[in-house]
Amino acid sequence: MLLIRAIIRPEKVGIVLSELLSAGFPAVTKMDVYGRGKQKGVKVGEIFYDEIPKEMLLMVIEDADKEDVVKIIIKYSRTGESGNFGDGRIFVSPVEEAYTISTKKKGL
């Protein structure tokens, strides 16, 4: 199992969630997050924003689904033809175990 953490632009969340659902990946946790990437923030006029609003999507998936999920997130999170600074990041980490609390069942 793998944990996917995708930090993306808020305006892209709806289409990403819709496409993940259509592809058979309905289980997603969404959080409002704030931060900055390599660009170290954004200056608009005289105002500098170093905490930019983003959304973080969390998913636990089977190893075999990694490529499909990552491709969907990248395809629908990018802005423009070649993407732009601030489009986000995807982090993939191993998950040792998962349990459903209501049923006590181990696994996804």
Cα–chain center distance at 79: 15
Distances (CA, A) of 103 to 50, 61, 108: 43, 19, 12
- Tens-digit pLDDT string for the chain (108 aa): 999 999 999 999 999 999 999 999 999 999 999 987 777 777 778 887 778 899 999 999 999 999 999 999 999 999 988 888 889 999 999 999 999 999 999 988
SS3 30: strand
Q: Structure tokens of 70?
A: 């990552």
Domain range summary for the chain, segments of one domain joined by + = 2-106
Nearest to 22 by CA among 76, 78, 92, 80: 76
**What CA–CA distance (Å, rounded) separates 35 from 31?**
13
Instruction: Could you please state the CATH topology (level 3) that the domain comprising 2-106 is classified under.
Output: Alpha-Beta Plaits (3.30.70)
